Amino acid sequence: MEKATILYKKIENFFFENKGNAEFLGFFRISIGTMVLLHFLSVIRDFDKFFSSKSIVPQDIMSVFHPGWLLTFSKITHFFESFGIAENTVILGAKIMFIGLCINIIIGFYSRMSAFLLLLLQVALLKGSSFFIYGVDFFTSMSLFYLILLPSDAYFSVLRFIFKKKAKEVNFMPVKRMFQIHISMAYFFSGFDKLLGYNWRNGESIWKAIHLPYANRDFNFDFSWMADHSYILIIIGWSTVIIEMLYPVFVWIPKTQKTWMMLTISMHLGIALVLNLYYFSAIMIIWNLTNFYFERESVPVKFPLFKRWFYKKYNPIGI
């Protein structure tokens, strides 16, 4: 019973003891708001080709792939059309609303409510046009969800400046711990999935990725020389698997936290430069910095296997 009480106390302290630096709230809100806004502006000229009745893939075909109860942008458009409001007007309103909500999040003006409304609009747009979405869109939805949960308006925001109130002491650690566990699990299972197949272990996936027709178009790196040095592809493939699978171990260990975070960020910078997946790389870098760069002191999680090398004579240093 005593051991159970001690274990419960440790878990409670891990999730609720306020050891975090509140600066991450402002960073996360501003960076996610900016990234989502830039991502939307990059496709706004082709908005009609993705989300309107003139879509490249007709809406009635895409509707086959999602349940009837799901709120999609085409349903929203049809709803307003029943009141005599033209589709072009609805699309213009959606564009203005999307941009306005992003700006509200960036400046910190009722960012929780703005994130909630933006999440509804974003899901309606993407779920109704599922042929055009990829990883960054899912992580955008999750980021907006965390913005709803986190009290990001309390720090470095226009709302706080207007009302000139002292920020309330809010314990954001339960949400941050959930966020940290979330990203740790995401990397682990991403690496584990790569490990199950042979393509990442023999470098084939790396070779295919860098030669995709839509990749490496901005800088046009010449990777033909790698055909004679296949061991480099194998090293890159295994490095990716190791970085991702061991992320939930080394990112929590004080002495290796910054190193592993930098390795992960370097991996995403490589993805951005070679595969030209700039927004996906940006949002993953934001997630890493948000969760582990602004720690006031190291997270008290220990792995007995590594205790001898990483925990001996260690004194936490605040960031």
CA 263 – CA 240 distance, rounded (Å): 10
Dihedral, CA of residue 261, residue 242, residue 188 and residue 182, to nearest 10: 0
Q: pLDDT category, 312, cuts 50, 70, 90?
A: very low
pLDDT surpassing 80 at residue 113: yes
Instruction: Compute φ and ψ for 20, nearest 5 degrees.
Output: -90, 160
Cβ-contact 101, 118 below 8 angstroms = yes
Judge if 31 and 112 occupy the same domain.
yes
pLDDT number for residue 297: 53
Rounded average pLDDT over 81-92: 92
For residue 171, give both structure tokens.
Answer: 């314990």
Closest to 31 (Cα-Cα) out of 172, 183, 143, 151: 143
Q: Return the pLDDT at 19.
A: 67
On the question of pLDDT at 26 being above 80, the answer is: yes
Residues 186 and 308 placed together within one structural domain of the fold? yes
Query: What's the average model confidence in pLDDT over 165-193?
Result: 87
Query: Per the domain annotation, does 113 fall within a domain?
Result: yes
For the chain, the domain total comes to 2
pLDDT of residue 99: 97
Q: For residue 306, is pLDDT > 80?
A: no
Q: Can you give the pLDDT at residue 245?
A: 96
List the domain range (segments joined by +) for residue 248.
173-319
Among residues 170, 195, 213, the one where a domain terminates is 170
pLDDT at 13: 78
| Claim to verify: residue 244 and residue 164 sit in the same structural domain | no
Does 92 lie in the same domain as 184? no
Q: Tokens at residue 101, please?
A: 């909500």
Above 80 in pLDDT, residue 253? yes
pLDDT at 317 over 50: no
Give me the pLDDT at residue 167, please.
57
Both 188 and 90 in one domain: the answer is: no
Answer whether residue 12 is part of any domain: no
10 within some domain: no
Structure token digits, residue 78: 């049809």
Considering the domain boundaries, does residue 11 fall inside one? no
Is the same domain home to 27 and 78?
yes
Residues 62 and 151 in one domain: yes
Res 199 pLDDT > 50 = yes
- Please check whether residues 258 and 315 belong to one and the same domain: yes
The closest alpha carbon to 252, from 172, 306, 192, belongs to 306
- Which range, 13-27, 139-153, 206-220, 298-312, has the best average confidence (pLDDT)? 139-153
Residues 178 and 313 in one domain: yes
Same-domain check for residues 160 and 301: no
Is 71 part of any domain?
yes
Among the residue ranges 60-64, 73-77, 114-118, 201-205, the one predicted with the least confidence is: 60-64
Cβ atoms of residues 108 and 151 within 8 Å: no
- The residue-averaged pLDDT of 188-210 equals 93
2 inside domain:
no
Q: If you average pLDDT over residues 267-283, what whole number do you get?
A: 95
**Which range, of 31-45, 124-138, 199-213, averages the lowest pLDDT?**
124-138
Q: Which of 170, 194, 222 is the last residue of a domain?
A: 170
Amino acid at 108: G
Residue with the bigger pLDDT between 264 and 60: it is 264
Whether 248 maps to a domain, the answer reads yes
Same domain, 32 and 128: yes
Sign (positive/negative) of CA torsion 50, 129, 30, 163? positive
Question: 81 with 192, same domain?
Answer: no
Task: Give percent above pLDDT 90 in the chain.
Answer: 55
Last residue of a domain, one of 170, 196, 217: 170
Which string of DSSP letters, residue by residue, matches the chain? -HHHHHHHHHHHHHHHS--B-THHHHHHHHHHHHHHHHHHHHHGGGHHHHHSTT-SS-HHHHGGGS-TTS--HHHHHHHHHTTT--HHHHHHHHHHHHHHHHHHHHHTSSHHHHHHHHHHHHHHHHHTTGGG--HHHHHHHHHHHHHHHS-GGGSS-HHHHHHT-PPP----HHHHHHHHHHHHHHHHHHHHHHHHSSTTTTTHHHHHHHT-TTSS-SS----GGGGG-HHHHHHHHHHHHHHHHTHHHHTTSTTTHHHHHHHHHHHHHHHHHHH--HHHHHHHHHHHHHHHTSBSS------GGGHHHHTTT------
Measuring CA to CA, how many Å separate 242 from each of 120, 134, 236, 292, 307? 36, 24, 10, 19, 20
Mean predicted lDDT score pLDDT of the chain: 86
